[in-house]
Amino acid sequence: MSTAVGAAPTRLTGVNPVAKLAAALVIAIGLVLSIDWVSALTALILEMALLLVLRVPLRTLFTRASMVALAAALTAVTILLYGESRGTVHWHFLLITVSDGSISLAVATFLRVLAIALPSVLLFVDTEPTELADGLGQVLRLPARFVLGSLAGVRLVGLLGQDWRYLGYARRARGVADQGRVKRAAGQAFALLVSAIRRGSTLATAMEARGFGAHPTRTWARPSPFGRREVALICAAFVIVAVAIATSVATGHWNLIATR
Protein backbone atom coordinates (compact mmCIF):
# COMPACT_ATOMS: atom_id res chain seq x y z
CA MET A 1 0.00 0.00 0.00
CA SER A 2 1.44 3.33 -1.01
CA THR A 3 1.67 6.16 1.45
CA ALA A 4 2.03 8.75 -1.22
CA VAL A 5 -0.99 8.05 -3.42
CA GLY A 6 -2.58 11.27 -4.50
CA ALA A 7 0.11 13.46 -2.97
CA ALA A 8 0.80 16.64 -4.90
CA PRO A 9 4.38 17.06 -6.16
CA THR A 10 6.58 19.16 -3.88
CA ARG A 11 10.24 20.15 -3.77
CA LEU A 12 10.68 17.16 -1.48
CA THR A 13 9.79 14.85 -4.35
CA GLY A 14 12.92 12.96 -5.32
CA VAL A 15 14.84 13.90 -2.16
CA ASN A 16 16.43 10.84 -0.63
CA PRO A 17 14.31 9.61 2.31
CA VAL A 18 17.48 9.09 4.36
CA ALA A 19 18.05 12.86 4.25
CA LYS A 20 14.47 13.45 5.41
CA LEU A 21 14.99 10.99 8.25
CA ALA A 22 18.28 12.64 9.22
CA ALA A 23 16.69 16.12 9.18
CA ALA A 24 13.83 14.98 11.40
CA LEU A 25 16.28 13.35 13.84
CA VAL A 26 18.47 16.48 13.99
CA ILE A 27 15.48 18.63 14.91
CA ALA A 28 14.18 16.11 17.44
CA ILE A 29 17.53 15.69 19.21
CA GLY A 30 18.12 19.45 19.30
CA LEU A 31 14.71 20.21 20.80
CA VAL A 32 14.73 17.58 23.54
CA LEU A 33 17.79 19.18 25.15
CA SER A 34 15.75 21.89 26.83
CA ILE A 35 12.23 22.34 28.17
CA ASP A 36 11.33 25.93 27.31
CA TRP A 37 8.74 27.51 25.06
CA VAL A 38 11.07 29.96 23.30
CA SER A 39 13.24 27.39 21.51
CA ALA A 40 10.20 25.29 20.61
CA LEU A 41 8.26 28.27 19.23
CA THR A 42 11.28 29.52 17.27
CA ALA A 43 11.85 26.08 15.76
CA LEU A 44 8.16 25.75 14.92
CA ILE A 45 8.09 29.07 13.05
CA LEU A 46 11.23 28.17 11.08
CA GLU A 47 9.82 24.72 10.28
CA MET A 48 6.62 26.23 8.91
CA ALA A 49 8.67 28.58 6.75
CA LEU A 50 10.78 25.66 5.48
CA LEU A 51 7.71 23.60 4.64
CA LEU A 52 6.23 26.51 2.69
CA VAL A 53 9.51 26.93 0.80
CA LEU A 54 9.38 23.22 -0.01
CA ARG A 55 5.87 23.79 -1.40
CA VAL A 56 4.09 21.35 0.85
CA PRO A 57 0.37 21.77 -0.05
CA LEU A 58 -1.45 23.95 2.47
CA ARG A 59 -4.30 21.48 2.74
CA THR A 60 -1.90 18.69 3.61
CA LEU A 61 -0.01 20.99 5.96
CA PHE A 62 -3.08 22.04 7.95
CA THR A 63 -4.66 18.57 7.94
CA ARG A 64 -1.61 16.81 9.33
CA ALA A 65 -0.71 19.71 11.60
CA SER A 66 -4.17 19.53 13.19
CA MET A 67 -3.69 15.83 13.93
CA VAL A 68 -0.29 16.49 15.49
CA ALA A 69 -1.70 19.47 17.42
CA LEU A 70 -4.43 17.26 18.88
CA ALA A 71 -1.87 14.76 20.16
CA ALA A 72 0.28 17.59 21.53
CA ALA A 73 -2.74 19.14 23.26
CA LEU A 74 -3.59 15.86 25.02
CA THR A 75 -0.02 15.65 26.29
CA ALA A 76 -0.13 19.28 27.44
CA VAL A 77 -3.39 18.75 29.34
CA THR A 78 -1.80 15.91 31.31
CA ILE A 79 1.18 18.12 32.18
CA LEU A 80 -1.16 20.98 33.11
CA LEU A 81 -3.10 18.86 35.60
CA TYR A 82 -0.31 16.72 37.04
CA GLY A 83 2.88 18.64 36.21
CA GLU A 84 5.34 20.47 38.43
CA SER A 85 3.64 22.57 41.12
CA ARG A 86 5.48 25.87 41.33
CA GLY A 87 4.47 29.47 41.92
CA THR A 88 0.86 30.53 42.40
CA VAL A 89 -1.63 27.67 42.65
CA HIS A 90 -4.76 28.48 40.63
CA TRP A 91 -6.75 25.31 41.25
CA HIS A 92 -6.30 22.20 43.38
CA PHE A 93 -8.43 19.07 43.61
CA LEU A 94 -7.12 15.79 45.03
CA LEU A 95 -4.04 14.94 42.90
CA ILE A 96 -4.74 17.72 40.39
CA THR A 97 -2.84 20.97 40.86
CA VAL A 98 -2.84 23.79 38.32
CA SER A 99 -0.10 26.30 39.07
CA ASP A 100 2.15 28.77 37.28
CA GLY A 101 4.78 26.05 36.93
CA SER A 102 2.42 23.47 35.44
CA ILE A 103 0.96 26.05 33.03
CA SER A 104 4.36 27.12 31.70
CA LEU A 105 5.50 23.50 31.45
CA ALA A 106 2.30 22.54 29.61
CA VAL A 107 2.76 25.34 27.06
CA ALA A 108 6.40 24.37 26.53
CA THR A 109 5.45 20.71 26.15
CA PHE A 110 2.71 21.49 23.62
CA LEU A 111 5.03 23.57 21.45
CA ARG A 112 7.87 21.07 21.77
CA VAL A 113 5.78 18.04 20.78
CA LEU A 114 4.39 20.02 17.84
CA ALA A 115 7.85 21.18 16.74
CA ILE A 116 9.30 17.67 16.94
CA ALA A 117 6.42 15.74 15.37
CA LEU A 118 5.44 18.15 12.59
CA PRO A 119 8.59 17.78 10.44
CA SER A 120 8.64 14.04 11.10
CA VAL A 121 5.15 13.76 9.61
CA LEU A 122 5.32 16.28 6.78
CA LEU A 123 8.80 15.54 5.45
CA PHE A 124 7.56 12.07 4.49
CA VAL A 125 4.33 13.28 2.88
CA ASP A 126 5.34 11.99 -0.57
CA THR A 127 7.76 9.21 0.38
CA GLU A 128 7.15 5.64 -0.75
CA PRO A 129 8.18 2.82 1.63
CA THR A 130 10.18 1.32 -1.25
CA GLU A 131 12.18 4.54 -1.63
CA LEU A 132 12.98 4.54 2.09
CA ALA A 133 14.08 0.91 1.91
CA ASP A 134 16.34 1.71 -1.06
CA GLY A 135 17.92 4.55 0.91
CA LEU A 136 18.44 2.46 4.04
CA GLY A 137 20.08 -0.29 2.03
CA GLN A 138 22.24 1.82 -0.31
CA VAL A 139 23.05 4.97 1.67
CA LEU A 140 23.14 3.72 5.27
CA ARG A 141 24.32 0.25 4.21
CA LEU A 142 21.94 -1.52 6.57
CA PRO A 143 21.67 -5.31 6.19
CA ALA A 144 19.43 -6.21 3.26
CA ARG A 145 17.63 -8.83 5.34
CA PHE A 146 16.55 -6.22 7.88
CA VAL A 147 15.61 -3.63 5.22
CA LEU A 148 13.52 -5.99 3.09
CA GLY A 149 11.84 -7.52 6.13
CA SER A 150 10.90 -4.06 7.41
CA LEU A 151 9.57 -3.08 3.97
CA ALA A 152 7.42 -6.19 3.80
CA GLY A 153 6.09 -5.51 7.30
CA VAL A 154 5.21 -1.90 6.47
CA ARG A 155 3.33 -3.00 3.37
CA LEU A 156 1.38 -5.58 5.38
CA VAL A 157 0.32 -2.94 7.92
CA GLY A 158 -1.84 -1.36 5.22
CA LEU A 159 -3.85 -4.59 5.00
CA LEU A 160 -4.82 -4.64 8.69
CA GLY A 161 -7.70 -2.20 8.20
CA GLN A 162 -9.08 -4.25 5.33
CA ASP A 163 -8.73 -7.47 7.35
CA TRP A 164 -10.54 -5.85 10.28
CA ARG A 165 -13.53 -4.98 8.08
CA TYR A 166 -13.66 -8.44 6.50
CA LEU A 167 -13.49 -10.11 9.91
CA GLY A 168 -16.41 -7.95 11.04
CA TYR A 169 -18.44 -8.95 7.99
CA ALA A 170 -17.66 -12.64 8.52
CA ARG A 171 -18.53 -12.58 12.22
CA ARG A 172 -21.84 -10.83 11.57
CA ALA A 173 -22.69 -13.33 8.82
CA ARG A 174 -22.07 -16.19 11.28
CA GLY A 175 -24.06 -14.49 14.03
CA VAL A 176 -21.18 -14.18 16.50
CA ALA A 177 -21.04 -10.38 16.55
CA ASP A 178 -24.13 -9.72 18.66
CA GLN A 179 -22.37 -9.54 22.04
CA GLY A 180 -21.30 -6.35 23.79
CA ARG A 181 -18.90 -4.00 22.05
CA VAL A 182 -15.95 -4.74 24.33
CA LYS A 183 -16.30 -8.51 24.04
CA ARG A 184 -16.85 -8.28 20.28
CA ALA A 185 -13.82 -6.03 19.78
CA ALA A 186 -11.62 -8.29 21.93
CA GLY A 187 -12.57 -11.39 19.96
CA GLN A 188 -12.11 -9.65 16.64
CA ALA A 189 -8.74 -8.22 17.71
CA PHE A 190 -7.52 -11.71 18.64
CA ALA A 191 -8.67 -13.04 15.26
CA LEU A 192 -6.84 -10.17 13.54
CA LEU A 193 -3.66 -10.96 15.49
CA VAL A 194 -3.81 -14.62 14.44
CA SER A 195 -4.43 -13.62 10.82
CA ALA A 196 -1.51 -11.16 10.85
CA ILE A 197 0.89 -13.73 12.35
CA ARG A 198 -0.20 -16.34 9.81
CA ARG A 199 0.24 -13.94 6.88
CA GLY A 200 3.62 -12.79 8.19
CA SER A 201 4.83 -16.38 8.53
CA THR A 202 3.68 -17.19 5.00
CA LEU A 203 5.41 -14.11 3.61
CA ALA A 204 8.64 -14.89 5.49
CA THR A 205 8.64 -18.43 4.11
CA ALA A 206 8.03 -17.15 0.58
CA MET A 207 10.85 -14.60 0.89
CA GLU A 208 13.25 -17.27 2.16
CA ALA A 209 12.29 -19.52 -0.76
CA ARG A 210 13.03 -16.70 -3.20
CA GLY A 211 16.49 -16.19 -1.72
CA PHE A 212 15.94 -12.88 0.12
CA GLY A 213 18.79 -12.50 2.59
CA ALA A 214 20.61 -15.58 1.35
CA HIS A 215 23.73 -13.57 0.47
CA PRO A 216 25.52 -10.88 2.55
CA THR A 217 25.48 -8.45 -0.38
CA ARG A 218 22.83 -7.82 -3.01
CA THR A 219 22.05 -5.52 -5.91
CA TRP A 220 19.22 -2.98 -5.95
CA ALA A 221 16.83 -2.34 -8.84
CA ARG A 222 16.63 1.42 -8.25
CA PRO A 223 19.55 3.72 -7.41
CA SER A 224 19.24 5.90 -4.31
CA PRO A 225 21.33 9.04 -4.97
CA PHE A 226 22.46 11.36 -2.19
CA GLY A 227 23.51 14.80 -3.43
CA ARG A 228 23.22 18.55 -2.94
CA ARG A 229 19.49 18.66 -2.19
CA GLU A 230 19.88 16.10 0.53
CA VAL A 231 22.81 17.96 2.10
CA ALA A 232 20.88 21.24 1.89
CA LEU A 233 17.89 19.73 3.72
CA ILE A 234 20.07 18.40 6.54
CA CYS A 235 21.89 21.76 6.79
CA ALA A 236 18.51 23.51 7.03
CA ALA A 237 17.63 21.27 9.98
CA PHE A 238 20.90 22.18 11.72
CA VAL A 239 20.19 25.88 11.11
CA ILE A 240 16.71 25.56 12.63
CA VAL A 241 18.12 23.90 15.76
CA ALA A 242 21.00 26.38 16.07
CA VAL A 243 18.74 29.44 15.74
CA ALA A 244 16.21 28.00 18.20
CA ILE A 245 18.86 27.26 20.83
CA ALA A 246 20.61 30.61 20.32
CA THR A 247 17.31 32.50 20.68
CA SER A 248 16.45 30.60 23.85
CA VAL A 249 19.87 31.25 25.40
CA ALA A 250 19.82 34.93 24.40
CA THR A 251 16.41 35.48 26.01
CA GLY A 252 17.37 33.61 29.18
CA HIS A 253 14.77 30.84 28.78
CA TRP A 254 17.22 28.00 28.09
CA ASN A 255 16.41 25.19 30.52
CA LEU A 256 18.68 22.19 29.96
CA ILE A 257 16.72 19.05 30.72
CA ALA A 258 19.69 17.39 32.46
CA THR A 259 19.72 20.11 35.14
CA ARG A 260 16.09 19.73 36.13
Specify if 73 maps to a domain.
yes
Please write the tens of the pLDDT for every residue from 55-75.
877 787 788 888 888 888 888
User: What percentage of the chain has pLDDT greater than the value 70?
Assistant: 92
Residue 127: closest CA among 225, 16, 223: 16
Flag whether pLDDT at 216 surpasses 70: no
The mean pLDDT value of the chain amounts to 82
Give the confidence band of 4 by pLDDT, cuts at 50, 70, 90: very low
Residue 73's domain spans which residues? 17-130+225-259
- Cβ neighbours for 190, distance < 8 A, ≥ 6 positions apart: none
Flag whether pLDDT at 169 surpasses 80: yes
The pTM of the full predicted model, rounded to 2 decimals, is 0.74
Residues 109, 26 within the same domain: yes
**Residue 186: CA atoms inside 13 Å, Cβ hemisphere, count?**
5
- Cβ neighbours for 260, distance < 8 A, ≥ 6 positions apart: 35
Residues 42, 96 within the same domain: yes
CA distances from 209 to 117, 138, 150, 204, 213 (A): 39, 24, 18, 9, 10
Residue 233: closest CA among 20, 65, 55: 20
pLDDT value at position 26?
93
User: What total of structural domains would you count in the chain?
Assistant: 2
* CB 146, CB 132: distance < 8 Å: no
End-to-end CA distance of the chain: 44
Give the confidence band of 51 by pLDDT, cuts at 50, 70, 90: confident
Specify if 2 maps to a domain.
no
pLDDT value at position 179?
67
Residue 212 φ/ψ region, left for φ over 0, alpha for ψ in the -120 to 50 degree band, beta for the rest: beta
